[in-house]
Structure 1
Amino acid sequence: MRTLAMLGVLAIAAGVAYWLWFGRDTLTEADVQAFYVAQMEAGEALDAPALCAMMSEDYLQRGTVWIEGRSRQMQQDREETCDGITQLIGQMAQLRARSGGRFKPDSSQTIVSVDVAPDGSRAIVKTRSTLYIGMLGMSSRSTDTVIKRRGRVMITGSQSINWMGVNR
C-alpha cells in the first residue's frame, strides 16, 4: 500500500515537472488572441510599461515607414521601440489631461492570421492596425513572431509597413 502511495506521488511530481519544463511554454492560438487583446487594452489605458513588458529582451522591429509619399527603412531594438512608445504615450496622456479626459485616440487592430508552429514554440501573426489622433492617421500591416517563455506570451519581432499622414 505504501509503495502505491509513493508511486502516485512520483507520478504527480513527474507530471508537474513535465508541465514546468515543457507544457507551460507551449503556445496556442488562444494564447495569441489573449496577448493581442491585452496589448490593445494596455494601449487604450496608455500603459507604456505594460506594452514594453510584452516584448522579449531580444525584440527587433523592422519595416518601412511611408510619410506623405516618402519612404524610409527603419530598424529598432527593444529599447528604441520602448522609448518611442513611452514618448507617444506621454504625449497622448498630456492631450487626455488637457482635454479633461475627452481625448481618446481612435484605434483598431485586426488579426488577419495566426500560424502556430506544430510544436507550439512560436506563432507567426499577421495584423492590420489603425490609429487616428485628430487629423493624423497611421495605418500598419505587420507580421509578428510571438513566443511563450516561462509561461509568459511575448513578441520577439515584427516586420511591418506603416503609412502616416494628415487626413484632409
Structure 2
Amino acid sequence: MKKLILIAPLVAAAGWWYFVEGRTLTEDNVLAFYKQQEAATLSRHPEELCAQMDDEFQAIGDVAFQDQERRDRINKEQACQSVRDMYKSFDDLGDKMGGTLQLDYGYSIHKIDISPDRKSAVVDVSYSLDVAGSIMHIRSRGTDTLIRRNGKMLVLRSEEKATLESGFN
C-alpha cells in the first residue's frame, strides 16, 4: 500500500505532462523552434531539420526561378529528401570550388497566432538563404502551422512563396 501511495503522484505528474503540459505551446516555444531551425540550417544538419517535422507534415510551395513558376505539394519524406539533396549539392559545389560554401541564413517572424487551446500556432515568417555570397539567393515568405507533441515543437504544415535567384544567370 505504501508503494501505491508513493507511485500515485508520479503517475499523476506523468499523466499531466503527457496530456496537458507536453501538448500546449507558448510564444517562447515558437521562438525557440525557429532558433533551432536556424542552428540546424547553418550547421548543415538536414536530419535535425527533418526531426522538426511532424510525421503528417505537408508543404505547399510556389517557387519562382527566372521566368518559370512552379507549385509543389510535398510530404515529410519528400521534404527531407529535398533538404538532404540540397546540402549534398552545396557540398559537391564547395568541393569543386576548393572549400566549404558559406551559408548566410536569416528569418523574420512577422506574426504568431496561438490557438485558444494552445495546441497549435500559425506563424507568418520569412526566410532568406544566401549560398556562397552571390551563387544563389533564396527568399520566401509563408505560414507555418506548429504543434507541440510530448514537449517537442513540430511543424505540421507549411505554405510559402519563394524566389530563387542564381548568380550564374
TM range (shorter): 0.7 to 0.9
Stretches of structure 2 lacking an aligned partner (at least 5 in a row)? none
After superposition, the CA RMSD in angstroms is 2.2
- Please state how far the C-alpha of 1:125 moved relative to its aligned partner: 0.5
1:63 and 1:162 in contact (8 A); partners too: yes
Please report how far the alpha carbon of residue 154 of structure 1 lies from its aligned counterpart in structure 2 after TM superposition.
Answer: 0.4
Residue 80 of structure 1 corresponds to 78
The 1-side partners of 2:55 and 2:109 are apart by: 24
Q: Distance in 2 between matches of 1:57 and 1:10?
A: 33
Structure 1 portions without partners, runs of 5+? 1-5
Against the structure 1 CA distance between its residues 99 and 38, is the aligned structure 2 distance closer, same or farther, given a 3 Å change threshold?
farther
1:130 to 128, 131, 153: 128
Equivalent residue, structure 1, for 2:105: 107
Give the equivalent residue in structure 1 for 2:143: 143
SS at 1:72 equivalent: strand
Aligned residues between the structures: 163
What TM-score, normalized by structure 1, do the two folds share?
0.86
Partner of 1:45: 43
| Percentage of matched positions with identical amino acids | 25
**What do residues 3-56 of structure 1 show as CA deviations (whole Å, max 9, x unaligned)?**
xxx5x9756653442222211111111001001000000000000111111101
- Structure with higher Rg: it is 1
